C-alpha cells in the first residue's frame, strides 16, 4: 500500500490559490514597471523638447497672453492651464509633469511665484466620471 500520506485537499487548494495570487502579483508588478518606463520615456522626451527652446515658445504662445490678460484686469495672479478635460492618459500626464517641472524653473527665472493648482468644477452627472471642467495648472503670482 501507499505509505505516503496524501495532503488534505484544503491545503492543496490553499497552495494553488497562493501560487495564483503570487503569479498575479508578479504580472501586475511587470505591468507597473512597463508603465513606469513608458512614463519616464515620455517625460524625458517632453522635458528635453521644453529645455531646448520649447518652454520659451510655450510661454510666448500660450502663457504670456493669459498673464497679460489677468494683468489687464488688474489681477496679480492667474492659472496657466496644463490640462483640461483630458482624462488620465499616461503620455498626457508625463507631458504635463515635464511642462510643470520645466515651467516652474522657467517662470521663477522670469520673476514669478508659482504653485500647483488642480481645479474641478461640478460634474455633469450621469455616466460622466469626469467633472464638466477639470484643469491642472500652475498658479502664477507677480
- pLDDT given at position 86: 55
* Radius of gyration, alpha carbons of the chain: 25
- pLDDT given at position 122: 53
What is the rounded distance in angstroms from the CA atom of residue 63 to the CA atom of residue 72? 14
Domain residue extents for the chain: 9-141
- pTM value? 0.70
pLDDT(125) > 80: no
> Which residues are within 8 A (CB) of 90 and not within 5 positions of it... i.e. 6 or more apart?
35, 38, 39, 42
Q: Going edge to edge, which strands form the sheet with 134-141?
A: 77-84, 134-141, 113-120
- pLDDT given at position 91: 77
Q: What is the pLDDT of residues 12-31, one digit of tens each?
A: 999 999 999 999 999 999 99
- Please say whether the dihedral angle defined by the alpha carbons of residues 85, 90, 91 and 97, taken in this order, is positive or negative: positive
- pLDDT given at position 129: 56
Q: What is the pLDDT of residues 38-90, one digit of tens each?
A: 989 999 999 999 999 999 999 999 999 999 999 999 999 998 988 766 555 66
Amino acid at each position: 500500500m501507499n505509505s505516503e500520506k496524501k495532503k488534505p485537499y484544503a491545503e492543496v487548494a490553499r497552495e494553488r490559490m497562493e501560487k495564483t495570487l503570487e503569479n498575479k502579483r508578479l504580472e501586475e508588478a511587470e505591468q507597473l514597471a512597463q508603465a513606469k518606463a513608458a512614463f519616464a520615456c515620455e517625460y524625458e522626451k517632453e522635458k528635453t523638447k521644453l529645455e531646448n527652446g520649447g518652454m520659451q515658445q510655450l510661454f510666448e504662445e500660450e502663457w504670456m497672453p493669459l498673464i497679460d490678460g489677468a494683468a489687464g484686469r488688474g489681477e496679480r495672479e492667474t492659472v496657466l492651464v496644463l490640462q483640461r478635460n483630458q482624462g488620465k492618459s499616461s503620455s498626457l500626464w508625463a507631458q504635463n509633469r515635464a511642462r510643470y517641472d520645466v515651467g516652474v524653473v522657467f517662470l521663477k527665472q522670469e520673476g514669478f511665484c508659482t504653485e500647483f493648482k488642480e481645479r474641478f468644477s461640478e460634474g455633469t452627472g450621469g455616466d460622466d466620471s469626469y467633472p464638466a471642467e477639470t484643469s491642472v495648472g500652475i498658479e502664477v503670482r507677480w
